[in-house]
Amino acid sequence: MKALVLGSVALLGVLPFALSSSWLLVMFLSFLWLILTANYDILDGFLGYINLGQGAFFGLGAYVATVLLNVPQMQELGVLTYVVAAGSALGVAALFAAVMAFPLFRLKGLYFAIATLILIFLLQVLALNLAELTGGSYGLYVPPRFFMSTFVGYYLALTLAVAAVAVNWYLSRSTLGLAFRCIKGDDHAAGSIGLDLMRYKILALVIGSLPSAAAGVLFALNSGFIDPNIALGVERSLLPALMALLGGTGTVFGPVFGTGLIRIMETIFFHYLHLPVPSMLFFGLTLMLVALLIPDGLMRSPWIKRLPALRRLASV
């Protein structure tokens, strides 16, 4: 199994030399989605909370970095500019996660899910209304000299994605992850055996915020332009949940396959299908069929178990 994983990563590492820049971009964006999905799964698969606001960390990362990059004093710092911008983005996201954890974790299940959804809507409204800071509906530009080419972005995003999945892998084997799963199973019991529930919950939310915020920074640097829909749109919160569910929550490679499946479907329907009827129609129908046929995600479906190579991946 290790060979399979390392081999795949190595393959991804050399792919940019063979791909056209449009495919590079597709892959770059796919890695960003994978990061969001893997982070989402920390909260869902391990801790048992459905976080419909994962996109908030992405959006905060993108906006904080872009706002800072537009500050004249910041622009003169050379390499330090990137460091400060990215660092602040991560800091703000982590702080947001830590602070929001308190009110959020009073809730459970559907109620928790809605509360997280409210957060992302609120952030979107703030981004729209605080126009002096965020550019409002007109959005914000990243000064051209800070642009990151898709080639460089690909490698950074790949590294970050590998790291995010590695975090999930670590959680699946560590006592920290075990603590999360105890809380997921029965948090009263977990509390009564002495686990400091709040500490673990805050930790989970913060860990899940950092790579997503970094993904937001990478996105902004490559995109050159963000607005409340692009950076804080609700799809950035809903799709990771969908990808995680399709891949199988609580598994290390579930996010990888879930993201892959959806991105492949999307690419087939929008890049290749040339029918008068909208591509979205087919995408939606296929999604529905896939969802009906795979009850608990790819990693736990009977078909995966039949393929020996994948069976090992699924049991991680």
Partner 1 sequence: MRFRVISVSAALVLGAVFVIALAPSIRAQPKEIKIGGTMAVTGNFAVEWGPKAKQFMEAWATMMNERGGIFVKEVNAKLPIKLIVYDDGSSADRAVELYERLATTDKVDFFTGPASSPITIKASTVAEKYGIPMVTAEANSPAIFARGFKWLVGADRPAPQWAEDYYKMVKALMDAGAMPPLKTVAVIQENTPHTMDVGWGGINRATIAGLTVVATETVPPNSSDFSAIIGKLKALNPDIIYVAAWAGTAAAFAKQAFELGLKPKELHIPHSTITEKWGGMVGQNIADGVTGTTHEAHFKKGDKDAYFALRQKVGLSGFDAGWTSLRFIALEALGKAIEQAGSLDRTKVMATLRTLKYETLHGELHFSFGVEVAGKKVDGVGNKFVFPAQWQNGKIEVLWPADVATAKYRPRM
Partner 2 sequence: MARGLELVISGLSLGGVYALLAFAMSLTISTTRVLNVAHGVFFVWGGAFFVILSRHLGLHPVLSIALLTLLFFFLALLFEWGIVRTLLGRSVHLLLVGSIMATFGLGLSMESALGYSWVTFVDPYPVFSSSLVMFPVHLGGVSLSGSRLVILAFVVVTVTAFHLFLQRTFLGKGARAMAQNFDGFLVIGLNPFRLSLILFSLAIVATAISGAFYVLAVPLDPYQGLPLTLKSFTVVILAGVGNLPGTLVAGALLGLAEVITSQFFGTVWAPAVSLAVLFLVLVFRPTGLFGKGLD
**Smallest distance, partner 2 to C-beta of residue 76, A:** 35
Task: Kindly tell me the burial class for residue 79, based on how many C-beta atoms sit within 10 Å of its own C-beta (0-12, 13-18, 19 or more).
Answer: exposed
DSSP H/E element including 59: helix 54-69
CA proximity to 70, closest of 161, 129, 143, 146? 143
Q: How many residues does the chain have?
A: 316
Distance (Å) of CA 201 to CA 105, 136, 187, 214: 8, 33, 11, 21
Inter-residue contact 61 to 87 (CB < 8 Å): no
Contact string 213-242 vs partner 2 (x = CB under 8 A): ---------------------x---x--xx
Q: Which is nearer to partner 1, 13 or 136 (CB)?
A: 136
Among 102, 111, 138, 170, binds partner 1 (CB under 8 A): 138
Which of the stretches 158-166, 182-190, 270-278, 291-299 binds partner 1 when contact is defined by CB under 8 A? 270-278
Rounded Cα distance between 30 and 157, Å, is: 9
Task: Map the footprint of partner 1 across residues 6-35, applying CB under 8 A.
Answer: 20-22, 25-26, 29
The only residue of 114, 178, 206, 268 in contact with partner 2, by rule CB under 8 A: 114
Q: Which amino acid is at 235?
A: E
CB of 116 to partner 2, least distance (A): 10
The item of partner 1, partner 2, none sharing an interface with residue 270, based on CB under 5 to 8 Å by kind, is: partner 1
Judged by CB under 8 A, which of 1, 71, 118, 166 binds partner 2? 118
Nearer to partner 2 by Cβ, of 25 and 128: the residue is 128
Site for partner 2 in 262-281 (CB under 8 A): 277-278, 280-281
Binding flag, residue 98, partner 2 (CB under 8 A): no
Min dist. Cβ of residue 310 to partner 2 (A): 21
Site for partner 1 in 29-68 (CB under 8 A): 29
Structure tokens at 225: 């332009």
In the stretch 124-153, what mask flags binding to partner 2 with x, by CB under 8 A?
Answer: -xx-xx------------------------
Q: How many alpha carbons fall within 13 Å on the CB side of residue 190?
A: 20
Binding partner of 29, given partner 2, partner 1, none, CB within 5-8 angstroms per partner class: partner 1
Binding mask 217-256 for partner 1 (x = CB under 8 A): ------xxx-x-xx----x---------------------
Q: Is residue 286 involved in binding partner 2 (CB under 8 A)?
A: yes
Decide: is 141 part of the binding site for partner 1 (CB under 8 A).
yes
Binding site for partner 1 (CB under 8 A): 20-22, 25-26, 29, 125, 128-129, 136-139, 141, 223-225, 227, 229-230, 235, 266, 270-271, 276, 278-281
Binding site for partner 2 (CB under 8 A): 103, 106-111, 114-115, 117-119, 121-122, 125-126, 128-129, 234, 238, 241-242, 245-246, 277-278, 280-292, 295-296
